[in-house]
């Protein structure tokens, strides 16, 4: 099947990563696997429209026009607007990393993050992706996802980030059941050993889980149980604004989740 121009353009845009946010024309050509002449023509058109910007050194980066269009994505836009007051309140209480994420395929995408100068270091960023099995928000989303997606993730080799990362499908299956039971996920050092994450689900108008909220705190100096009530309260507040039905009495348990329920 002959590749379309759209496919080539998307490959060029996909060449940019968090590690390589600026690329020269030759690098773009190589990473997108396109002839240099083709890359030159398409990059020129993208730069003219504003999807790419060319620096004084001749290297290209993603342009503001593309960011402007991407910010209109309905799953991110309405959710972020509804969530921001609660994210800000949670940050004021904890002074640590506060994150909001959604499910996209078999990954979690972070749509918002608030962080203070003294907060524990995390690798997440707005628009960044991480695997579901190794993140607190990811475990919340996976635990409430379709069974088909759960089985797909469980059947895939699980990437190890630290010695604490859950890579055993049976262990992950048990943890997902615990997340569904308690309504909260706790992850201790699964992405970075220094970080402890506490996450809770955000519900939409139909009662389904549409996002997950987390706070990430220093692992050594923090007790996850102390953060569970405020994380749950923030998630419930966002859910109410989104029009979620009120949870049934007793639907949320206050018991301590098992250790190993994911980071960030």
> Does residue 194 share a domain with residue 63?
no
Domain boundary among 32, 54, 70: 70
* Residue 249 placed within a domain: no
Query: Which ranges in 56-198 belong to alpha helices (H)?
Result: 64-70, 74-94, 136-143, 147-155, 169-182
Query: How many Cβ atoms sit within 10 Å of the Cβ of residue 97?
Result: 22
The CA distances from residue 169 to 57, 69, 141, 233, 257, in Å, are 48, 38, 16, 31, 18
% of the chain with per-residue pLDDT over 70: 89
Please report which confidence band the pLDDT of residue 190 belongs to, taking 50, 70 and 90 as the band edges. confident
Same domain for 98 and 172, yes or no, is yes
d(CA 24, CA 136): 36
Number of domains into which the chain is organized: 2
Decide: helix, strand or coil at residue 127: coil
Output the pLDDT for position 253: 46
What range defines the domain where residue 154 resides? Answer: 73-242
Res 127: pLDDT: 79
12 and 32 Cβ atoms separated by less than 8 Å = yes
Given a cut of 50, is residue 195 above it in pLDDT? yes
In a domain, 259, yes or no: no
Mean of the per-residue pLDDT values of the chain: 85
Say yes or no: 31 and 115 in one domain: no
Write the pLDDT tens digit of every residue in 203-251. Answer: 988 899 999 999 998 887 778 888 999 999 999 999 999 888 876 655 5
Reply yes or no on whether the pLDDT at 162 is more than 80: yes
> Half-sphere exposure of residue 217, counting CA atoms within 13 Å on the CB side?
20
Asked whether residue 262 is domain-assigned, the answer is no
Give the global pTM. 0.71
CATH of the domain at 186: 3.30.450.40
Domain presence at residue 166 = yes
Name the residue with higher pLDDT: 52 or 70: 52
- Do 91 and 19 lie in one domain? The reply is no
Does residue 252 fall inside a structural domain? no
DSSP type of residue 95: -
10 within domain boundaries: yes
- Asked if 140 and 198 sit in the same domain, the reply is yes
CB atoms within 10 A of CB 131: 20
For residue 76, pLDDT over 70 is answered with no
Residue 117: per-residue pLDDT = 74
Confidence at residue 258, expressed as pLDDT on a 0 to 100 scale: 44
Instruction: Provide the pLDDT confidence category of residue 191 given band limits of 50, 70 and 90.
Output: confident
Size of the chain in residues: 264
**pLDDT value of position 259:** 44
């Amino acid at each position: 099947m002959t590749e379309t121009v759209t496919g080539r353009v998307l490959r060029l845009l996909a060449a940019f990563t968090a590690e390589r946010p600026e690329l020269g024309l030759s690098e773009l050509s190589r990473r997108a696997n396109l002839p240099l002449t083709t890359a030159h023509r398409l990059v020129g058109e993208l730069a003219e429209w504003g999807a790419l910007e060319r620096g004084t050194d001749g290297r290209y980066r993603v342009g503001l026009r593309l960011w402007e269009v991407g910010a209109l994505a309905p799953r991110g836009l309405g959710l972020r607007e509804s969530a921001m007051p609660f994210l800000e309140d949670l940050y004021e209480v904890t002074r640590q990393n506060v994150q909001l994420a959604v499910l996209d395929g078999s990954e979690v995408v972070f749509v918002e993050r608030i962080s203070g100068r003294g907060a524990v270091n995390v690798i997440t960023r707005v628009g960044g992706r991480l695997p579901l099995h190794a993140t607190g928000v990811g475990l919340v989303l996976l635990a409430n996802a379709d069974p088909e997606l759960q089985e797909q993730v469980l059947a895939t080799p699980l990437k190890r980030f630290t010695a604490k990362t859950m890579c055993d499908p049976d262990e992950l299956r048990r943890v997902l059941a615990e997340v569904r039971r308690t309504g909260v996920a706790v992850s201790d050092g699964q992405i970075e050993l220094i970080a402890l994450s506490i996450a809770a689900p955000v519900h939409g108008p139909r009662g389904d889980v549409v996002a997950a909220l987390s706070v990430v705190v220093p692992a050594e100096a923090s007790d996850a149980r102390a953060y569970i009530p405020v994380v749950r309260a923030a998630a419930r507040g966002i859910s109410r604004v989104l029009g979620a039905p009120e949870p049934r009495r007793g639907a949320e348990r206050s018991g301590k989740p098992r250790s190993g329920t994911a980071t960030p």
